[in-house]
Each structure stands twice: as structure tokens, then as C-alpha cells.
Amino acid sequence: MTTGTVRQSIGIDCAKDEFVAAYCCSSELRGSECKQTLAFKNSKQGIARFISWQGKLGEEGLALPMVMEATGVYHEQLACALYDGGHQVHVVLPNKAKAFTRSINLRSVDDGSSARTLALMGMERKLDPWEKPRELYSRMKHLTREREDIQQSLSSTKNQLHAEEAGAFTNPGTVKRLKSRIRFLEKQILAVETDLRSLIKTEKDVKERIDRVCTAPGIGWLTMAVLLAETNGFHHVRNQRQLTKYAGLDVEKQDSGTSVHKPGRLSKKGNRHIRKALYMPALSRIRSEASSKVFFKRLVSKHGVKMKALAAVQRKTLLLAYTLWKNNTPYDPQYHTCTGAQEKGQPLEAALNELA
């Protein structure tokens, strides 16, 4: 009977200043065990030291996956360095890592235990490989999120101004400062949009494809910029169902036996930036696009909840943008069936009606 290592993995828990790596392996004789746990500086020197350390580990001929959690931007430098070095990298979402931690009944969590849990996850789960994002989309993500943050500050400042002017005892100095801040934030938004437009123009093929998608009513260049930035140009999207789940526009249901019958609701567990970017385009399509208007009214007449129907239009708008981008074709108002929209013999609208 073979007693050697049959599986191995390195789990990495990343933080701002350092990351902790744990090497775990599994054999038929001893089962799963952690061999080494070590901390490294989250810097170029620390990454170089980690690469040297991991090169001395593991069994030859066996894959050595490296699993890390998506922790803001702190994991990106390490993930890119490992990917460029030809290593097998997996970046898992925090909710998946948390669910796996609960499944192994781990109660106390620290950096070391988190790294060991990720290593165990790499041995026991089939994880999607991580690929380095295209530089264009990475830069677009920074700009679109910067604009979103400034827009939130602008909305908050406008609300403060309204409250100050509507009060019984208005302070002229406060009003003046708030108006000055509003003008400054509006200039900041224009500056970010200018940078974003210039960045998109550097890639002619991307610019042309965005223009084709924007022929669809309600979908503007800024909406497409957010969608492309948050999905790396739809590069990792395998199908429409996966995209819907990634955006948090999928439906969660609880139906068990005769006692549990909860109505379906949006999970909202996906990318909130995508949902936010689709809010205004969905409203625009309801006002100006005939099929979306009919679709919206039909859902409202069915259950009377406008926000629920609006979410269905958001989902429909997302799938439309994805289909036009994937096929690289302009919008055709007479084309009612999206290419590839049928799954298991069901039309696209049947899937969308899950939100009803």
C-alpha cells in the first residue's frame, strides 16, 4: 500500500503588512496534516522569500495549489507574482472560505488557522483557477470605484445642504462651504470620467465593442465600464447563470416538506457594484424600451412589488449587455431571443420570471 503524499496545498492568509502561509499534505497512512506554517512580509522582498521557501516543499510530480482569500487588494501583489511564476493559484471569496471553516467545525480563528483552513480547502475542494486580470480592466475598476465613492460623497453633501437650507436657523457659512464642496466633488467626477474615457480609447477594439453594446436603450458607456471592470471583460464568465449569481441577482428559495415555503428573494450576495450600476439603466429601459416596459408592468400586476420587478429588469439588462458583448453585435430591437439564452430548453424570459 502506498504511504506517500497523495495531495498537497499551501494556504495563504493575506493582510496589509504580512501574510501567513501554511503547507499541508495528505497521505493514505497519516491523513491530512499541516507540516509548516510561516509568516512573510507582504512586500516584494517577502514574496521573493516565500517563493524560495515553497520551492523546497512538496512532492515532485504532484500539483501544489496555492489558495488565498480575496481580501480587498492585499492579496493582489502576491497572486500576480505567483501567476507570473507559473504557479497554480486559487483566489476564493470570503463567504466560501467562511462556509468551509464552518463545515470543519473550526471555532477559534487566527491568521495561522485561516491559512491552514485554506490549505485544507485546496486539497478537498475543486477550485477554479485564478487568472491575472487584464491591466486595462484593473485600471478601469480603480477609476469606476473611485467615481462611485465620490458620487456617494456628493449625494451626502447635497443632502446636508438641503437639510441646512430647510432648517429654521440657517448658517450662511455652512451653506457656502457645502456649495463649495459640491462644486469640487462635481469637478472630481468629471476628471475621473475624463481619465476613464481616455483609458478606454487606448484600446480600440474595446472601445468599438462598448459602442456596439451601447446601441441598446438604457445602456451607456459608464455602465459598460463598470460591468467590464468588475468582471474582467466577462473573461471568467462561463454562462448567464453564473453571471447572474456573481452579480447577486440570483434567486434564493426555501422550500422543504409541508412547513417551509418561503417565497424567492434576491440573494444580494454578489458584486454590489454591478447591481448599483444597473439601477439607473433599468429605470431608463422601463421608461423608453417597449419590451422592458411590458415586462415590468406584467410583473407588477402579478405581485404588486415594483422593486422586485425592477430587479428582474436589472437582471435582464445585465444578460443583454453580456450577450451583445460576447457576440460583438449591435442591439437589434426585433431580436427577442438572446443567443445562448436557452438552458435546458427554457427560454430566457422563463428564467427571468423566477424573480416574479
* pLDDT of the chain, 356 residues: tens digit per residue: 345 668 899 999 999 999 999 999 988 777 788 889 999 999 999 999 999 999 888 777 788 999 999 888 899 999 999 999 999 999 998 888 888 988 888 777 888 999 999 999 999 889 989 999 999 999 999 999 999 999 999 999 999 999 999 999 999 999 999 999 999 999 999 999 999 999 999 999 999 999 999 999 999 999 999 999 999 999 888 899 999 999 999 887 766 766 666 777 788 888 999 999 999 999 999 999 999 999 999 999 988 889 989 999 999 999 999 999 999 999 988 775 444 444 443 444 444 444 44
pTM (predicted TM-score): 0.84
Total residue length of the chain: 356
pLDDT computed for residue 343 by the predictor: 40
Q: How far apart are CA 264 and CA 241, in angstroms?
A: 16
**Biggest CA-to-CA distance, the chain:** 86
Amino acid (one-letter) located at 266: L
Q: How far apart are CA 19 and CA 38, in angstroms?
A: 9
Give the torsion sign (CA, 19, 22, 23, 28): negative
pLDDT computed for residue 93 by the predictor: 86
Q: How far apart are CA 200 and CA 52, in angstroms?
A: 38
pLDDT computed for residue 4 by the predictor: 66
Phi, psi values for residue 117, rounded to 5°: -65, -40
Give the residues across from 261 on adjacent strands.
Answer: 255
Q: How far apart are CA 212 and CA 322, in angstroms?
A: 12
pLDDT computed for residue 73 by the predictor: 87
DSSP 8-state assignment for residue 134: P
pLDDT computed for residue 336 by the predictor: 58
The helix or strand, by DSSP H or E, that contains position 301, with its residue range, turns out to be: helix 290-303
Report in angstroms the alpha-carbon separations of 71 from 123, 141, 187, 205, 225.
21, 16, 31, 32, 23
In terms of DSSP H, where are the helices of 125-134? none
Axis crossing angle, helix 306-327 with helix 204-213, rounded to the nearest 10: 140
Assigned C-alpha cell, 205: 477594439
pLDDT computed for residue 162 by the predictor: 96
Give the residue from 221, 244, 229 showing the smallest Cα distance to 323: 244
